Amino acid sequence: MNRVFRDALGPRLFAKGSVLSIGAFDGVHLGHAALIERTVAHSRASGLTSCLLSFEPLPRAYFQKSGPLVRLCSPREKIERALALGTDAVGLLRFNRTLADMPAETFIDEVLVGRLNAREIWIGPDFRFGHGRRGDVGMLEQHAHRHGYQVSVLAVQSEGDERISSTRIRSALLGARFSEAERLLGRPYSISGRVIRGQQLGRTLGYPTANISLHGRVPPVHGIYAVRVTGAGLVDQPSVASIGNRPTVNGKELLLEVHLFDYQGDLYSQRLTVDFVSKIRDEVRFASLDDLVSRMHIDAREARVMLQSNPASTGSNT
């Protein structure tokens, strides 16, 4: 049975033992997938539970004082990706002051061993943990014999002679290099969420939109895009999307708005996945709604052309 947990401390979860993969896993890209697949394979061979262990908020976001951290995926998307790769359990430990102040040795003793009953631990070479980031591969190996677990370090995964990393993917997306991001992710970059009720301004302008709240998350995309939408019975539905603060109508909250071409239906409360294909332009403030509508006509035409010249990927989200 799949299991999701948040608490770092508490009763032992896996009586027979676990095979852990540990990291931030932002985006769950191909490098992350390789790590997760190793844990799944080893757990099945040994009859143990495979578990992805991560943190929410991410430690970088917790300590960052300059504003929200740009993220590739939401916590829910991270869980869904991990489970789709076959892992049995996902731990998104609450990264708070207690966990930030926990000595690395205590994290090993009370969390990895006491809580999760680790028998194998899979990590990347740069993994750090514990107060002051004192914990590393060497410390895990020093404590391995005492606790009876094994430590395995997965070599850096590369594409095009460069390391596959969340940082590289964020850079590609900020530069609208969606083909590069897709190669590193193993799928198109996407944002998923539930459709909420908006001001229905798009409907009055001739462009009804499905509005998806980002709940404070800051993605590495901003502007107007050609996209495809899957969910609510739709598969790769050609669409145009705006993600931003809607300056022309004095919007405040960062919002993803999607106009689905040639579609009529009620999508409220439905969960959709939006695959980003190409960028059309940056978000700008228009002098009037008439000017905005004129530009929306152009955006829609450009989106259709871009989607026709970029067929849906076989690795698209479903």
- Other Cβ atoms closer than 10 A to 236: 20
| pLDDT above 90: residue 68 | no
Q: Which two tokens stand for residue 60?
A: 């970088």
- Assess if residue 101 is contained within a domain: yes
- Assess if residue 315 is contained within a domain: no
- Assess if residue 82 is contained within a domain: yes
119 and 234 inside one domain: no
- Assess if residue 318 is contained within a domain: no
Pairing label, strands 118-123, 210-213? unpaired
Domain end call among 139, 159, 179: 159
Distance CA 192, CA 155 (A): 30
Which residues face 22 on adjacent strands? Answer: 53
- 178-185 vs 166-174: helix axis angle to the nearest 10? 160
Pick from 72, 97, 74, 87: which is nearest to 221 by CA?
72
When divided into structural domains, the chain yields a total of 2
Report pLDDT digits (tens) over 80-135.
999 999 999 999 999 999 999 999 999 999 999 999 999 999 999 999 999 999 99
Domain end call among 115, 141, 159: 159
CATH number reported for the structural domain that contains residue 138 in this entry: 3.40.50.620
- The reported pLDDT for the residue numbered 1 is 45
- Assess if residue 199 is contained within a domain: yes
126 and 243 inside one domain: no
Placement of tokens 């049975």 in the chain: 1
Across 48-52, 232-236, 314-318, least confident range: 314-318
- The reported pLDDT for the residue numbered 315 is 47
Say which residue, 288 or 221, is predicted with more confidence: 221
- Assess if residue 44 is contained within a domain: yes
260 and 143 inside one domain: no
Report pLDDT digits (tens) over 172-207.
999 999 999 999 999 999 999 999 987 767 767 778
127 and 225 inside one domain: no
Note down the domain range covering 280: 189-309
Task: Give the single-character DSSP code of 239.
Answer: E
13 and 155 inside one domain: yes
Domain end call among 117, 138, 159: 159
105 and 223 inside one domain: no
152 and 194 inside one domain: no
Q: Which two tokens stand for residue 275?
A: 């695959």
| pLDDT above 60: residue 221 | yes
Contact present, 281 and 224 (Cβ < 8 Å): yes
- Assess if residue 172 is contained within a domain: no
Q: What is the mean pLDDT of residues 266-294?
A: 94
Three-state SS string over 186-237 comes to CCCCEEEEEEECCCCHHHHCCCCCEEEECCCCECCCCEEEEEEEEECCEEEE
Q: What is the pTM of this model?
A: 0.92
- The reported pLDDT for the residue numbered 300 is 97
Split at pLDDT 50, 70, 90, the class of 318 is very low
21 and 152 inside one domain: yes
- Counting residues of the chain whose pLDDT is more than 70, the rounded percentage is 95
Burial of 241 (0-12, 13-18, 19+ CB in 10 A): buried
- Assess if residue 137 is contained within a domain: yes
- Other Cβ atoms closer than 10 A to 102: 18
142 and 263 inside one domain: no
Report pLDDT digits (tens) over 6-20.
999 999 999 999 999
CATH number reported for the structural domain that contains residue 205 in this entry: 2.40.30.30
